[in-house]
Amino acid sequence: MKKTVDITTVRECRANLARIAREHPEITDRETPREELAAQWESTLEEVFMSDKVAYTIEEVAELLSCHKDTIRRAIKAGKLIAGKLGKEYRISRIDLEAYYRAHGGGELFQSHEQETEPKE
């Protein structure tokens, strides 16, 4: 299944990373092979897109929680995880996912935007 990507956001991310690399040349690693850097870039983009989403597929939730997608399906069918069904696919809201995770002993699943803007001491 293809994911829809907002090209404007991708361009903004690339511009921000280029600016950071110019401003902080000490963090630019010239020793790492190009393929590994590309993989790191893709991983970073994936994390950014996942953290800004408000609804997730079963596959995305399973990846976030490091479990099998059948585990997520069973939790939905048992009523432990609230999900909406759109056509043949389920969508789990970010709020319901966080509540489910906390109810099962997990901590904070996503970093809140308030924490990102607070200055570090």
DSSP codes joined into one string, 56-83: E-HHHHHHHHTS-HHHHHHHHHTTSS--
Q: 């990373």: which residue's tokens?
A: 17
Residue 118 confidence (pLDDT) above 90:
no
pLDDT tens figures, 38-86: 777 777 777 666 666 788 999 999 988 999 999 999 999 999 999 999 8
pLDDT at 90: 94
Given a contact cutoff of 8 angstroms between Cβ atoms, the answer to whether 61 and 72 are in contact is yes
Residue 89 confidence (pLDDT) above 80:
yes
Ranges of beta strands (E only) in 1-121 are 55-56, 84-86, 89-93
All domains of the chain in start order, with CATH: 7-52 (no CATH), 55-108 (1.10.1660)
